[in-house]
């Protein structure tokens, strides 16, 4: 449950660069904010809902003889964020849009929420930031 000094970070823009971004993606900074602030809540919506869906896909590409395997890994970072104690929501509608089995592949610990329910909670937070 949110407290009066909590921050809700809404992430809806996803997959914003792989080769140029690598480790320094949105969730990297969210994790750092979680550390600095003492705790954040994260809401994944839009295409960012895909961050909460497990996959066996390994992000790597071969270029100029190099296997570049340091590309962004949002599921790994999301697991770390959950281990750090952050609360993570994913919007039901956007999760469903990813396929009939997306719900079965939801990362453990991520909470499903409707869009309306999330909006109704905004006033519980001291800050609501689109990230």
Q: Least distance in Å: CB of 31 to another protein? A: 8
Q: 52-59: long-range contacts at Cβ-Cβ below 8 A with a sequence spacing of 24 or more?
A: 52/78, 52/88, 52/90, 52/95, 52/106, 52/107, 52/110, 53/95, 53/98, 53/102, 53/105, 53/106, 53/107, 54/105, 54/106, 54/107, 55/105, 59/18
131 binds another protein (CB under 8 A): no
Q: Which is nearer to another protein, 70 or 93 (CB)?
A: 70
Q: Least distance in Å: CB of 14 to another protein? A: 10
Stretch that binds another protein, among 15-23, 88-96, 104-112, 116-124 (CB under 8 A): 15-23
Which parts of 16-35 interact with another protein (CB under 8 A)? 16-24, 28, 31
82 binds another protein (CB under 8 A): no
């Amino acid at each position: 449950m949110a407290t009066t000094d909590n921050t809700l970070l809404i992430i809806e823009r996803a997959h914003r660069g792989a080769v140029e971004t690598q480790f320094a993606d949105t969730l990297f900074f969210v994790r750092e904010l979680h550390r600095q602030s003492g705790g954040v809540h994260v809401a994944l919506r839009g295409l960012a809902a895909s961050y909460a869906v497990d996959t066996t896909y390994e992000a790597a590409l071969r270029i100029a003889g190099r296997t570049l395997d340091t590309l962004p890994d949002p599921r790994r970072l999301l697991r770390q964020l959950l281990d750090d104690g952050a609360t993570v929501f994913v919007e039901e509608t956007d999760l469903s849009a990813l396929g009939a089995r997306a719900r079965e592949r939801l990362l453990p610990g991520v909470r499903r929420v409707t869009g309306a329910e999330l909006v109704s909670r905004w006033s519980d937070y001291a800050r609501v930031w689109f990230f």
